[in-house]
Amino acid sequence: MVLKISSIQLSALKEAAVEQFVRDTTHSLDREFGDLDALFAPQAIQSTIRYGIARSGHYGIFGKADVYSYIRLMFTLLGSDFDIDPLYPWASEILSDSYHPANDRMVRLELRAQSFLDSISEREPCYFVQVAKAIRHNPFSSLPRAIAPPAIEEHAVMVIDSYFPGKTACIGIDAVRQSVASSCGGARMFDIRDGGNVAAFALFAFLFGVQFYDDPKYPEVKEIFRDSSALESRKIAAMLAVARNYLTRKLAILRAKQETV
């Protein structure tokens, strides 16, 4: 007698495999980074892994090692949506190259990303200290409420470059301008229109990724921007508070690592 597996059973088997991959990847990331649990809630880590499975699958990346590599990059400075981030056009270019197999593309992507991260480390050795300074308060609070979008964008680029000249140099000023323009436009989705708040929104995208407001690593941020009843100034203030809390933990981890060296 030939045994048949029902579609329900097959779906359950696939789901079990995904859950096992999530557990294995969580352990691997913890061993590699050693600080994820201190930075992100367990549920946020697991949600990000599942999101990474879906995002990598969009590019035909299904091998466990390749999917892990993709997810690993989501936990670096690139952000969970690095593949569509204007700051990293090379990521989309590599991932969308249908002429090369998935493992080859992932090797190229990892090398390019590591080169970028090494350059940041060289040029901005105190990067996270600078981030903490930049988000101590809204650096754009003095901008007039009613200011033309081109002026907002130019001021945002100028402030970003003044805080992070090394990262800006690594990315390229044109890509930074494109990111800022895109983010300033995206701020309107959340009814953020005052000049200083729009520029702050663009700064967050530069620091935490193009879709930071929907990044599964930061569920608190998602809640902030989902609250349609909140004033835009309260959304930005809440986002700054979450970012400061994250940076406090990040800097404590970095200091602890330096003390053990």
* Residues 187 and 96 both lie in one domain: no
Q: Confirm whether 100 is domain-assigned.
A: yes
The CA distance from 52 to 45, in Å, is 10
Q: Using alpha carbons only, give the angle 125, 200, 196 rounded to the nearest 5 degrees.
A: 135
What type of residue is 43? Q
pLDDT, position 190: 93
Instruction: Read off the DSSP letter of residue 30.
Output: H
* Residues 146 and 116 both lie in one domain: no
Q: Tell me which of 99, 123, 147 is where a domain ends.
A: 123
pLDDT, position 74: 96
**Closest CA relative to residue 139, chosen from 118, 160, 169:** 160
Q: Tell me which of 123, 142, 165 is where a domain ends.
A: 123
How many structural domains does the chain have?
A: 2
Reading the chain (261 residues) residue by residue, the pLDDT tens digits are 445 555 554 566 578 888 999 999 999 998 888 888 889 999 999 999 999 999 999 999 999 999 999 999 999 989 999 999 999 999 999 999 989 999 999 999 999 999 999 999 999 999 999 999 999 999 999 998 888 999 999 999 999 999 999 999 999 999 999 999 999 999 999 999 999 999 999 999 999 999 999 999 999 999 999 898 899 999 999 999 999 999 999 999 888 877 775
The CA distance from 214 to 168, in Å, is 24
Q: Confirm whether 84 is domain-assigned.
A: yes
pLDDT, position 261: 58
The CA distance from 246 to 212, in Å, is 13
Q: Confirm whether 192 is domain-assigned.
A: yes
* Residues 131 and 108 both lie in one domain: no
Report yes or no: 92 and 84 within 8 Å, Cβ to Cβ: yes
* Residues 62 and 139 both lie in one domain: no
pLDDT, position 98: 86
- Runs of H (alpha helix) within 89-192: 89-95, 102-123, 127-134, 149-163, 165-171, 173-186
* Residues 103 and 149 both lie in one domain: no
The CA distance from 209 to 59, in Å, is 20
The CA distance from 259 to 251, in Å, is 12
Q: What element of type H or E holds 235?
A: helix 232-260
Q: Tell me which of 73, 93, 123 is where a domain ends.
A: 123
Q: Confirm whether 3 is domain-assigned.
A: no
